Structure 1
Amino acid sequence: MSGRHGHGDDHHDADGHHGGGWAGVRRSFSHVLSHLNPFGHSHDAADSVDDALASNEEGIRALKISLVALVVTALLQAVVVAFSGSVALLADTIHNFGDALTALPLWVAFALAKRPANRAYTYGYGRAEDLAGVAIVGLILFSACVAGYQSVTKLINGSEVSNVGWVAAAGVVGFLGNELVAQFRIRVGKKIGSAALVADGQHARTDGFTSLAVVAGALGVAFGYPILDPLVGLGITVAILFIVKDSASSMWRRMMDAVEPEVVDSIEEVAAGVPGVEGVGVVRARWVGHRIHSEVEIGVLGGVSASEIARIRERLSAEARRAVPKLERLVVEAVPCG
Protein backbone atom coordinates (compact mmCIF):
# COMPACT_ATOMS: atom_id res chain seq x y z
CA MET A 1 0.00 0.00 0.00
CA SER A 2 1.11 3.54 -0.56
CA GLY A 3 -0.09 7.05 -0.05
CA ARG A 4 -2.38 8.57 2.56
CA HIS A 5 -6.06 9.08 1.94
CA GLY A 6 -8.74 11.28 3.40
CA HIS A 7 -8.86 11.55 7.14
CA GLY A 8 -12.27 12.57 8.46
CA ASP A 9 -14.27 9.50 9.40
CA ASP A 10 -11.44 7.12 8.61
CA HIS A 11 -9.72 7.98 11.89
CA HIS A 12 -10.44 6.19 15.07
CA ASP A 13 -8.93 6.82 18.52
CA ALA A 14 -8.51 3.73 20.66
CA ASP A 15 -7.80 4.80 24.22
CA GLY A 16 -7.99 1.68 26.28
CA HIS A 17 -6.76 -0.67 28.92
CA HIS A 18 -3.04 -1.29 29.23
CA GLY A 19 -2.96 -4.84 30.43
CA GLY A 20 -3.81 -6.34 33.80
CA GLY A 21 -2.26 -6.02 37.21
CA TRP A 22 -3.31 -2.44 37.97
CA ALA A 23 -6.28 -3.07 40.27
CA GLY A 24 -4.25 -2.43 43.39
CA VAL A 25 -2.76 0.78 42.03
CA ARG A 26 -5.97 2.51 40.93
CA ARG A 27 -7.39 2.98 44.40
CA SER A 28 -7.18 6.78 44.72
CA PHE A 29 -7.93 8.36 41.37
CA SER A 30 -11.72 8.47 41.02
CA HIS A 31 -11.80 12.00 42.44
CA VAL A 32 -9.08 13.09 40.06
CA LEU A 33 -10.89 11.69 37.00
CA SER A 34 -13.88 13.89 37.73
CA HIS A 35 -11.71 16.93 36.95
CA LEU A 36 -10.27 15.57 33.74
CA ASN A 37 -11.39 15.91 30.13
CA PRO A 38 -10.14 12.65 28.61
CA PHE A 39 -10.08 11.93 24.89
CA GLY A 40 -13.42 10.45 23.94
CA HIS A 41 -16.27 9.37 26.16
CA SER A 42 -15.91 5.60 26.33
CA HIS A 43 -15.08 3.58 29.43
CA ASP A 44 -11.87 2.58 27.66
CA ALA A 45 -10.77 6.22 27.47
CA ALA A 46 -11.43 6.76 31.18
CA ASP A 47 -9.54 3.60 32.06
CA SER A 48 -6.62 4.78 29.90
CA VAL A 49 -6.37 8.05 31.82
CA ASP A 50 -6.78 6.13 35.08
CA ASP A 51 -3.89 3.81 34.20
CA ALA A 52 -1.65 6.71 33.20
CA LEU A 53 -2.36 8.57 36.44
CA ALA A 54 -1.79 5.45 38.51
CA SER A 55 1.54 4.72 36.83
CA ASN A 56 2.71 8.31 37.35
CA GLU A 57 1.79 8.14 41.04
CA GLU A 58 3.60 4.83 41.45
CA GLY A 59 6.64 6.29 39.71
CA ILE A 60 6.66 9.23 42.13
CA ARG A 61 6.40 6.87 45.10
CA ALA A 62 9.35 4.83 43.80
CA LEU A 63 11.41 8.00 43.37
CA LYS A 64 10.65 9.16 46.91
CA ILE A 65 11.72 5.86 48.44
CA SER A 66 14.86 5.52 46.33
CA LEU A 67 15.81 9.17 46.97
CA VAL A 68 15.73 8.63 50.72
CA ALA A 69 17.69 5.36 50.42
CA LEU A 70 20.45 6.90 48.30
CA VAL A 71 20.75 10.02 50.47
CA VAL A 72 21.12 7.87 53.60
CA THR A 73 23.74 5.72 51.81
CA ALA A 74 25.70 8.78 50.66
CA LEU A 75 25.55 10.42 54.11
CA LEU A 76 26.96 7.29 55.74
CA GLN A 77 29.79 7.31 53.20
CA ALA A 78 30.39 11.04 53.72
CA VAL A 79 30.96 10.46 57.44
CA VAL A 80 33.67 7.93 56.65
CA VAL A 81 35.21 10.29 54.05
CA ALA A 82 35.49 13.01 56.71
CA PHE A 83 37.81 11.01 58.95
CA SER A 84 39.49 8.75 56.39
CA GLY A 85 40.49 11.15 53.56
CA SER A 86 39.80 8.53 50.87
CA VAL A 87 39.41 10.25 47.51
CA ALA A 88 38.04 7.08 45.94
CA LEU A 89 35.30 6.99 48.57
CA LEU A 90 34.78 10.74 48.09
CA ALA A 91 34.27 10.21 44.34
CA ASP A 92 31.79 7.43 45.01
CA THR A 93 29.98 9.51 47.64
CA ILE A 94 29.66 12.47 45.27
CA HIS A 95 28.32 10.18 42.59
CA ASN A 96 25.78 8.69 44.98
CA PHE A 97 24.58 12.17 45.93
CA GLY A 98 24.35 12.98 42.22
CA ASP A 99 22.42 9.78 41.58
CA ALA A 100 20.00 10.70 44.37
CA LEU A 101 19.44 14.11 42.77
CA THR A 102 18.50 12.50 39.46
CA ALA A 103 15.23 11.56 41.16
CA LEU A 104 14.21 15.22 41.36
CA PRO A 105 13.73 16.02 37.63
CA LEU A 106 11.96 12.68 37.14
CA TRP A 107 9.74 13.49 40.09
CA VAL A 108 8.76 16.80 38.50
CA ALA A 109 8.16 15.05 35.15
CA PHE A 110 5.85 12.43 36.68
CA ALA A 111 3.94 15.16 38.49
CA LEU A 112 3.52 17.14 35.25
CA ALA A 113 2.41 14.04 33.37
CA LYS A 114 -0.61 13.77 35.67
CA ARG A 115 -2.01 16.97 34.20
CA PRO A 116 -4.63 16.48 31.49
CA ALA A 117 -4.08 17.45 27.87
CA ASN A 118 -5.40 20.83 26.81
CA ARG A 119 -5.69 22.94 23.67
CA ALA A 120 -2.05 24.03 23.91
CA TYR A 121 -0.52 20.69 24.96
CA THR A 122 -2.80 18.42 22.96
CA TYR A 123 -0.69 15.31 23.68
CA GLY A 124 -0.45 16.08 27.38
CA TYR A 125 2.77 16.55 29.34
CA GLY A 126 4.39 13.15 28.87
CA ARG A 127 7.37 14.70 27.08
CA ALA A 128 8.48 16.17 30.41
CA GLU A 129 9.87 12.73 31.20
CA ASP A 130 12.24 12.97 28.22
CA LEU A 131 13.35 16.44 29.28
CA ALA A 132 14.00 15.08 32.76
CA GLY A 133 16.23 12.44 31.16
CA VAL A 134 18.32 15.21 29.58
CA ALA A 135 18.66 16.86 33.00
CA ILE A 136 19.73 13.53 34.47
CA VAL A 137 22.50 13.20 31.87
CA GLY A 138 23.72 16.67 32.83
CA LEU A 139 23.78 15.79 36.54
CA ILE A 140 25.73 12.60 35.88
CA LEU A 141 28.25 14.51 33.78
CA PHE A 142 28.67 17.10 36.55
CA SER A 143 29.35 14.36 39.11
CA ALA A 144 31.99 12.91 36.77
CA CYS A 145 33.73 16.29 36.52
CA VAL A 146 33.79 16.76 40.30
CA ALA A 147 35.04 13.23 40.97
CA GLY A 148 37.71 13.56 38.27
CA TYR A 149 38.96 16.89 39.64
CA GLN A 150 39.27 15.54 43.17
CA SER A 151 41.08 12.42 41.97
CA VAL A 152 43.62 14.36 39.86
CA THR A 153 44.26 16.76 42.74
CA LYS A 154 44.98 13.90 45.13
CA LEU A 155 47.14 12.17 42.54
CA ILE A 156 49.30 15.30 42.15
CA ASN A 157 49.42 16.39 45.79
CA GLY A 158 49.45 12.95 47.36
CA SER A 159 46.81 11.05 49.23
CA GLU A 160 46.71 9.95 52.84
CA VAL A 161 44.06 7.45 53.77
CA SER A 162 43.34 6.33 57.30
CA ASN A 163 40.78 3.97 58.81
CA VAL A 164 41.04 1.70 55.79
CA GLY A 165 38.66 -0.82 57.29
CA TRP A 166 35.95 1.80 57.57
CA VAL A 167 36.57 2.88 53.98
CA ALA A 168 36.08 -0.69 52.79
CA ALA A 169 32.94 -1.01 54.89
CA ALA A 170 31.59 2.24 53.43
CA GLY A 171 32.23 0.88 49.94
CA VAL A 172 30.19 -2.22 50.76
CA VAL A 173 27.40 0.01 52.13
CA GLY A 174 27.46 1.96 48.87
CA PHE A 175 27.16 -1.23 46.84
CA LEU A 176 24.26 -2.61 48.87
CA GLY A 177 22.38 0.71 48.90
CA ASN A 178 22.73 1.19 45.15
CA GLU A 179 21.80 -2.40 44.32
CA LEU A 180 18.63 -2.25 46.40
CA VAL A 181 17.65 1.04 44.76
CA ALA A 182 18.50 -0.37 41.32
CA GLN A 183 16.26 -3.41 41.79
CA PHE A 184 13.41 -1.24 43.06
CA ARG A 185 13.63 1.35 40.28
CA ILE A 186 13.97 -1.24 37.52
CA ARG A 187 11.03 -3.28 38.83
CA VAL A 188 8.72 -0.27 39.09
CA GLY A 189 10.00 1.19 35.81
CA LYS A 190 9.18 -2.02 33.92
CA LYS A 191 5.80 -2.26 35.59
CA ILE A 192 4.70 1.25 34.58
CA GLY A 193 6.58 1.32 31.26
CA SER A 194 9.00 4.14 32.16
CA ALA A 195 12.25 3.81 30.21
CA ALA A 196 13.71 6.76 32.13
CA LEU A 197 13.09 5.08 35.49
CA VAL A 198 14.52 1.77 34.25
CA ALA A 199 17.62 3.56 32.92
CA ASP A 200 18.01 5.36 36.23
CA GLY A 201 17.85 2.01 38.00
CA GLN A 202 20.53 0.58 35.71
CA HIS A 203 22.60 3.65 36.46
CA ALA A 204 22.26 2.94 40.20
CA ARG A 205 23.35 -0.66 39.60
CA THR A 206 26.51 0.56 37.86
CA ASP A 207 27.14 2.86 40.81
CA GLY A 208 27.03 -0.16 43.07
CA PHE A 209 29.90 -1.77 41.20
CA THR A 210 31.93 1.45 41.39
CA SER A 211 31.44 1.27 45.16
CA LEU A 212 33.07 -2.16 45.07
CA ALA A 213 36.00 -0.49 43.31
CA VAL A 214 36.38 1.67 46.42
CA VAL A 215 36.82 -1.51 48.42
CA ALA A 216 39.59 -2.57 46.02
CA GLY A 217 41.30 0.81 46.49
CA ALA A 218 41.10 0.49 50.27
CA LEU A 219 42.73 -2.94 50.08
CA GLY A 220 45.53 -1.45 47.98
CA VAL A 221 46.16 1.17 50.66
CA ALA A 222 46.14 -1.52 53.33
CA PHE A 223 48.88 -3.39 51.44
CA GLY A 224 51.07 -0.29 51.19
CA TYR A 225 50.04 1.20 47.82
CA PRO A 226 48.20 4.46 48.67
CA ILE A 227 48.40 5.65 45.06
CA LEU A 228 45.68 3.11 44.27
CA ASP A 229 43.16 5.31 46.07
CA PRO A 230 43.23 8.29 43.61
CA LEU A 231 43.70 5.84 40.71
CA VAL A 232 40.50 4.07 41.67
CA GLY A 233 38.88 7.51 41.88
CA LEU A 234 39.93 8.15 38.28
CA GLY A 235 38.63 4.74 37.28
CA ILE A 236 35.25 5.60 38.78
CA THR A 237 35.28 8.87 36.83
CA VAL A 238 35.84 6.99 33.58
CA ALA A 239 33.01 4.59 34.46
CA ILE A 240 30.69 7.57 35.03
CA LEU A 241 31.64 9.02 31.64
CA PHE A 242 30.63 5.76 29.96
CA ILE A 243 27.29 6.02 31.74
CA VAL A 244 26.96 9.56 30.38
CA LYS A 245 27.60 8.27 26.86
CA ASP A 246 24.99 5.49 27.11
CA SER A 247 22.42 7.72 28.79
CA ALA A 248 22.89 10.48 26.22
CA SER A 249 22.42 7.97 23.40
CA SER A 250 19.21 6.68 24.99
CA MET A 251 17.83 10.19 25.46
CA TRP A 252 18.71 11.12 21.87
CA ARG A 253 16.60 8.21 20.64
CA ARG A 254 13.66 9.24 22.81
CA MET A 255 13.84 12.90 21.77
CA MET A 256 13.92 11.80 18.11
CA ASP A 257 10.79 9.67 18.56
CA ALA A 258 12.61 6.35 18.21
CA VAL A 259 10.70 3.27 19.30
CA GLU A 260 11.63 -0.36 19.74
CA PRO A 261 11.23 -2.18 16.38
CA GLU A 262 9.32 -5.01 18.06
CA VAL A 263 6.53 -2.54 18.90
CA VAL A 264 6.00 -1.78 15.20
CA ASP A 265 6.31 -5.48 14.36
CA SER A 266 3.63 -6.40 16.91
CA ILE A 267 1.17 -3.81 15.61
CA GLU A 268 1.79 -4.93 12.00
CA GLU A 269 1.25 -8.59 12.88
CA VAL A 270 -1.94 -7.82 14.80
CA ALA A 271 -3.33 -5.69 11.97
CA ALA A 272 -2.53 -8.32 9.34
CA GLY A 273 -4.35 -10.98 11.36
CA VAL A 274 -7.64 -9.11 11.78
CA PRO A 275 -10.39 -10.46 9.47
CA GLY A 276 -11.37 -7.88 6.86
CA VAL A 277 -7.93 -6.27 6.68
CA GLU A 278 -6.63 -6.75 3.13
CA GLY A 279 -3.25 -5.14 3.72
CA VAL A 280 -1.19 -3.14 6.19
CA GLY A 281 0.47 0.08 5.15
CA VAL A 282 2.47 2.58 7.19
CA VAL A 283 2.77 1.96 10.94
CA ARG A 284 4.08 4.75 13.13
CA ALA A 285 4.67 4.68 16.87
CA ARG A 286 6.39 6.85 19.43
CA TRP A 287 6.76 7.10 23.17
CA VAL A 288 5.10 10.00 24.97
CA GLY A 289 6.43 9.70 28.48
CA HIS A 290 5.94 6.04 29.34
CA ARG A 291 2.99 5.48 27.03
CA ILE A 292 2.98 4.64 23.31
CA HIS A 293 0.98 6.56 20.70
CA SER A 294 0.62 4.86 17.31
CA GLU A 295 -0.96 5.18 13.87
CA VAL A 296 -1.66 2.35 11.45
CA GLU A 297 -2.93 2.33 7.88
CA ILE A 298 -5.01 -0.66 6.78
CA GLY A 299 -6.58 -1.59 3.46
CA VAL A 300 -10.21 -2.71 3.28
CA LEU A 301 -12.37 -3.71 0.31
CA GLY A 302 -14.18 -0.83 -1.34
CA GLY A 303 -17.64 -2.29 -0.78
CA VAL A 304 -17.27 -2.85 2.95
CA SER A 305 -19.90 -1.00 5.00
CA ALA A 306 -19.11 1.67 7.56
CA SER A 307 -20.33 -0.56 10.39
CA GLU A 308 -18.02 -3.38 9.27
CA ILE A 309 -15.07 -0.96 9.15
CA ALA A 310 -15.92 0.15 12.68
CA ARG A 311 -15.95 -3.49 13.80
CA ILE A 312 -12.53 -4.06 12.21
CA ARG A 313 -11.14 -1.01 13.97
CA GLU A 314 -12.49 -2.07 17.34
CA ARG A 315 -11.01 -5.56 17.03
CA LEU A 316 -7.67 -4.22 15.80
CA SER A 317 -7.50 -1.77 18.71
CA ALA A 318 -8.32 -4.44 21.28
CA GLU A 319 -5.80 -6.92 19.85
CA ALA A 320 -3.09 -4.23 19.61
CA ARG A 321 -3.53 -3.27 23.25
CA ARG A 322 -3.10 -6.89 24.26
CA ALA A 323 0.04 -7.22 22.14
CA VAL A 324 1.52 -3.88 23.27
CA PRO A 325 0.43 -3.30 26.90
CA LYS A 326 1.79 0.27 27.00
CA LEU A 327 -0.20 1.37 23.94
CA GLU A 328 -2.34 4.33 24.96
CA ARG A 329 -3.63 5.67 21.65
CA LEU A 330 -4.06 3.95 18.31
CA VAL A 331 -5.30 5.88 15.28
CA VAL A 332 -6.55 3.55 12.54
CA GLU A 333 -6.83 4.86 8.98
CA ALA A 334 -8.94 2.64 6.72
CA VAL A 335 -8.05 2.96 3.04
CA PRO A 336 -10.26 1.39 0.29
CA CYS A 337 -8.36 -1.00 -1.95
CA GLY A 338 -8.93 -3.61 -4.67
Structure 2
Amino acid sequence: MLTRILDWFGFGSHGHDHGGHGGHDHGGQGHDHHGPHGHTHGVIDATIATTERGIWAIKWSFVILATTAALQLAVVLFSGSVALLADTIHNIADATTAIPLWIAFVLARRRPTRTFTYGLGRVEDLAGIVIVLIILASALVAGYEAIDRLFNPQPVRFLGWLAAAGVIGF
Protein backbone atom coordinates (compact mmCIF):
# COMPACT_ATOMS: atom_id res chain seq x y z
CA MET A 1 0.00 0.00 0.00
CA LEU A 2 2.79 2.43 0.92
CA THR A 3 4.58 1.55 -2.32
CA ARG A 4 1.47 2.42 -4.34
CA ILE A 5 1.08 5.74 -2.50
CA LEU A 6 4.74 6.62 -3.02
CA ASP A 7 4.51 5.64 -6.69
CA TRP A 8 1.37 7.76 -7.13
CA PHE A 9 3.21 10.80 -5.75
CA GLY A 10 6.16 10.12 -8.03
CA PHE A 11 8.56 8.69 -5.45
CA GLY A 12 8.12 5.00 -6.27
CA SER A 13 9.57 2.77 -8.94
CA HIS A 14 7.91 4.74 -11.80
CA GLY A 15 7.18 1.48 -13.56
CA HIS A 16 10.86 0.54 -13.77
CA ASP A 17 10.34 -2.80 -12.06
CA HIS A 18 11.66 -5.43 -14.43
CA GLY A 19 9.60 -8.21 -12.96
CA GLY A 20 12.48 -9.94 -11.23
CA HIS A 21 14.74 -10.02 -14.28
CA GLY A 22 17.55 -8.51 -12.23
CA GLY A 23 20.51 -7.53 -14.37
CA HIS A 24 20.22 -7.24 -18.11
CA ASP A 25 22.03 -9.67 -20.36
CA HIS A 26 23.20 -7.49 -23.21
CA GLY A 27 25.56 -10.15 -24.54
CA GLY A 28 25.93 -11.03 -28.19
CA GLN A 29 23.09 -13.55 -28.19
CA GLY A 30 20.73 -11.32 -30.14
CA HIS A 31 18.92 -10.03 -27.05
CA ASP A 32 15.76 -8.23 -28.12
CA HIS A 33 15.72 -4.80 -26.44
CA HIS A 34 11.93 -4.73 -26.69
CA GLY A 35 11.84 -8.18 -25.11
CA PRO A 36 10.13 -9.64 -22.10
CA HIS A 37 10.61 -6.66 -19.82
CA GLY A 38 8.97 -4.24 -22.27
CA HIS A 39 11.22 -1.21 -22.56
CA THR A 40 13.78 0.22 -24.91
CA HIS A 41 17.28 1.50 -24.36
CA GLY A 42 18.81 4.59 -25.84
CA VAL A 43 16.88 7.65 -26.99
CA ILE A 44 13.74 8.56 -25.05
CA ASP A 45 11.03 10.61 -26.69
CA ALA A 46 11.16 13.99 -24.92
CA THR A 47 7.38 14.41 -25.00
CA ILE A 48 6.86 11.20 -23.00
CA ALA A 49 9.40 12.22 -20.37
CA THR A 50 7.91 15.71 -20.19
CA THR A 51 4.40 14.33 -19.92
CA GLU A 52 5.39 11.91 -17.15
CA ARG A 53 7.03 14.77 -15.27
CA GLY A 54 3.99 16.93 -16.02
CA ILE A 55 1.64 14.35 -14.52
CA TRP A 56 3.86 14.17 -11.44
CA ALA A 57 3.72 17.99 -11.08
CA ILE A 58 -0.04 18.05 -11.61
CA LYS A 59 -0.61 15.47 -8.86
CA TRP A 60 1.41 17.49 -6.38
CA SER A 61 -0.19 20.74 -7.47
CA PHE A 62 -3.65 19.27 -7.00
CA VAL A 63 -2.88 17.86 -3.54
CA ILE A 64 -1.27 21.06 -2.28
CA LEU A 65 -3.93 23.40 -3.68
CA ALA A 66 -6.82 21.22 -2.50
CA THR A 67 -5.33 21.03 1.00
CA THR A 68 -4.79 24.79 1.07
CA ALA A 69 -8.33 25.44 -0.12
CA ALA A 70 -9.77 23.08 2.51
CA LEU A 71 -7.87 24.83 5.30
CA GLN A 72 -8.92 28.24 4.01
CA LEU A 73 -12.54 27.16 3.65
CA ALA A 74 -12.62 26.18 7.32
CA VAL A 75 -11.42 29.67 8.28
CA VAL A 76 -13.86 31.32 5.85
CA LEU A 77 -16.79 29.53 7.47
CA PHE A 78 -16.12 30.92 10.93
CA SER A 79 -14.45 34.26 10.02
CA GLY A 80 -16.93 35.58 7.47
CA SER A 81 -14.16 37.11 5.33
CA VAL A 82 -15.14 37.67 1.71
CA ALA A 83 -11.50 38.40 0.81
CA LEU A 84 -10.40 34.99 2.06
CA LEU A 85 -13.45 33.47 0.38
CA ALA A 86 -12.26 34.92 -2.95
CA ASP A 87 -8.79 33.44 -2.41
CA THR A 88 -10.32 30.11 -1.40
CA ILE A 89 -12.45 30.06 -4.57
CA HIS A 90 -9.32 30.86 -6.54
CA ASN A 91 -7.42 27.95 -4.95
CA ILE A 92 -10.35 25.57 -5.49
CA ALA A 93 -10.42 26.60 -9.15
CA ASP A 94 -6.66 26.13 -9.46
CA ALA A 95 -6.90 22.65 -7.93
CA THR A 96 -9.83 21.82 -10.21
CA THR A 97 -7.94 22.91 -13.33
CA ALA A 98 -5.38 20.20 -12.62
CA ILE A 99 -8.00 17.54 -13.39
CA PRO A 100 -8.58 18.24 -17.12
CA LEU A 101 -4.86 18.84 -17.60
CA TRP A 102 -4.08 15.53 -15.89
CA ILE A 103 -6.57 13.74 -18.15
CA ALA A 104 -5.08 15.47 -21.22
CA PHE A 105 -1.54 14.43 -20.27
CA VAL A 106 -2.66 10.83 -19.77
CA LEU A 107 -4.49 10.80 -23.11
CA ALA A 108 -1.56 12.46 -24.90
CA ARG A 109 0.61 9.47 -23.98
CA ARG A 110 -1.54 7.10 -26.03
CA ARG A 111 -0.13 5.87 -29.29
CA PRO A 112 -1.66 6.86 -32.65
CA THR A 113 -4.55 4.73 -33.91
CA ARG A 114 -6.36 4.48 -37.23
CA THR A 115 -8.87 7.05 -36.07
CA PHE A 116 -6.34 9.38 -34.45
CA THR A 117 -3.35 8.97 -36.74
CA TYR A 118 -1.33 11.62 -34.91
CA GLY A 119 -2.33 10.45 -31.42
CA LEU A 120 -4.24 12.48 -28.88
CA GLY A 121 -1.67 15.19 -28.19
CA ARG A 122 -4.08 17.94 -29.21
CA VAL A 123 -6.44 17.02 -26.38
CA GLU A 124 -4.37 19.47 -24.31
CA ASP A 125 -6.01 22.25 -26.35
CA LEU A 126 -9.44 21.06 -25.20
CA ALA A 127 -8.15 20.91 -21.63
CA GLY A 128 -7.08 24.54 -22.03
CA ILE A 129 -10.63 25.52 -22.96
CA VAL A 130 -12.02 23.67 -19.93
CA ILE A 131 -9.45 25.38 -17.70
CA VAL A 132 -10.45 28.83 -19.00
CA LEU A 133 -14.12 28.01 -18.29
CA ILE A 134 -13.25 26.89 -14.74
CA ILE A 135 -11.34 30.11 -14.12
CA LEU A 136 -14.23 32.15 -15.55
CA ALA A 137 -16.74 30.36 -13.30
CA SER A 138 -14.57 30.94 -10.23
CA ALA A 139 -14.24 34.64 -11.06
CA LEU A 140 -18.01 34.96 -11.48
CA VAL A 141 -18.67 33.24 -8.13
CA ALA A 142 -16.08 35.38 -6.32
CA GLY A 143 -17.47 38.52 -7.96
CA TYR A 144 -21.03 37.61 -6.97
CA GLU A 145 -19.96 36.97 -3.37
CA ALA A 146 -18.10 40.30 -3.20
CA ILE A 147 -21.08 42.24 -4.55
CA ASP A 148 -23.41 40.38 -2.19
CA ARG A 149 -21.24 41.43 0.77
CA LEU A 150 -21.48 45.08 -0.34
CA PHE A 151 -25.26 44.90 0.00
CA ASN A 152 -25.28 42.52 2.98
CA PRO A 153 -22.24 43.36 5.11
CA GLN A 154 -21.12 40.90 7.79
CA PRO A 155 -18.60 41.40 10.55
CA VAL A 156 -15.23 39.76 10.10
CA ARG A 157 -14.10 37.67 13.09
CA PHE A 158 -10.99 35.78 14.18
CA LEU A 159 -8.49 38.10 12.51
CA GLY A 160 -5.48 36.04 13.66
CA TRP A 161 -6.82 32.89 12.03
CA LEU A 162 -7.75 34.95 9.00
CA ALA A 163 -4.20 36.27 8.67
CA ALA A 164 -2.78 32.74 9.08
CA ALA A 165 -5.11 31.41 6.37
CA GLY A 166 -4.02 34.23 4.05
CA VAL A 167 -0.40 33.28 4.58
CA ILE A 168 -1.22 29.61 3.91
CA GLY A 169 -2.98 30.66 0.70
CA PHE A 170 0.02 32.70 -0.34
TM superposition score category, shorter chain reference:
0.7 to 0.9
Relative distance call for 1:144 and 1:171 in structure 2 (3 A) is same
2:48 to 47, 53, 57: 53
- The aligned runs of 1:213-228 (5 Å cut-off) are none
Q: Secondary structure at the match of 2:111?
A: coil
Kindly provide the amino acid, as one letter, of the partner of residue 109 in structure 2: K
Q: Secondary structure at the match of 1:47?
A: coil
Q: Deviations over 1:209-247 (max 9, x none)?
A: xxxxxxxxxxxxxxxxxxxxxxxxxxxxxxxxxxxxxxx
Q: Secondary structure at the match of 1:102?
A: helix
CA distance in 2, matches of 1:76, 1:129: 30
Q: Which has the larger radius of gyration?
A: 1
Kindly provide the amino acid, as one letter, of the partner of residue 142 in structure 2: A
Q: Where in structure 1 do 4 or more consecutive aligned residues deviate above 4 Å?
A: none
1:122 to 112, 117, 124: 117
> In angstroms, what is the RMSD of aligned CA positions?
2.5
Equivalent residue number for residue 23 of structure 2? none
CA distance in 2, matches of 1:160, 1:89: 13
Q: Secondary structure at the match of 2:113?
A: coil
Identity of aligned residues (%): 54
Equivalent residue number for residue 107 of structure 1? 102
Relative distance call for 1:127 and 1:173 in structure 2 (3 A) is same
* TM-score (normalised: structure 1): 0.38
* TM-score (normalised: structure 2): 0.74
Kindly provide the amino acid, as one letter, of the partner of residue 71 in structure 1: A
Equivalent residue number for residue 287 of structure 1? none
How many residues are aligned here?
139
Query: Structure 1 regions of 5+ residues with no counterpart?
Result: 1-25, 35-42, 176-338
- The aligned runs of 1:130-279 (5 Å cut-off) are 130-175=125-170
Contact 1:113-1:126 within 8 A present in 2 as well:
yes
2:62 to 50, 62, 67: 67
CA distance in 2, matches of 1:87, 1:114: 41
Q: Secondary structure at the match of 1:82?
A: helix
Kindly provide the amino acid, as one letter, of the partner of residue 114 in structure 1: R
CA distance in 2, matches of 1:80, 1:164: 10
Contact 1:102-1:139 within 8 A present in 2 as well:
yes
Equivalent residue number for residue 294 of structure 1? none
CA distance in 1, matches of 2:124, 2:58: 13
Deviation of residue 47 (structure 1)? 3.2
CA distance in 1, matches of 2:44, 2:113: 18
Question: Which one has the bigger strand percentage?
Answer: 1
Q: Secondary structure at the match of 1:121?
A: coil
Deviation of residue 29 (structure 1)? 9.9
Query: Structure 2 regions of 5+ residues with no counterpart?
Result: 1-13, 20-32, 35-40
Q: Does 1:92 align with 2:69?
A: no
